[in-house]
Amino acid sequence: MKAVAAIGRHRYFKPLAICRKMSEPAQTALDNRHADAELDLRGVICPYNFVKTKLKLETMQAGEILAVILDEGDPIRNVPRSVSDDGHTVLAQESLTGAYRVTIRKRAAA
């Protein structure tokens, strides 16, 4: 959505984010688009998809965002739950064609 400002006879557009502070969901959506790393685990069976996700998260800094592409079925049911159990935050689960993109924020160092 864009805001329109009129100056004299000229109109220009500026993003609403500039006009006002972003809401929490809008900021989360922005974060989801800018993952620090991405893993494509389509075709990887359980539990290897979780193991690979966990190993990748271990190499990342606290607060960084990992996007993981998973198959439908067991992977999309198990991996988000398992990373949540490990203390990470699942920001979003986006449906793709035949797969899902799960966005995860690494937990703060303990």
Catalytic residue annotation: 46
Q: Peptide bond before 80: cis, by omega within 30 degrees of 0? A: no
Residue type, 22: M
Rounded to whole angstroms, what are the CA distances from 75 to 7, 20, 36, 83? Answer: 53, 39, 21, 12
Q: Are strands 99-105 and 89-96 parallel, antiparallel or unpaired?
A: antiparallel
Residues in Cβ contact with 10 at an 8 Å cutoff, skipping those fewer than 6 apart: none
Q: Residue 44 is encoded by which pair of tokens?
A: 């990887």
DSSP state of 11: E
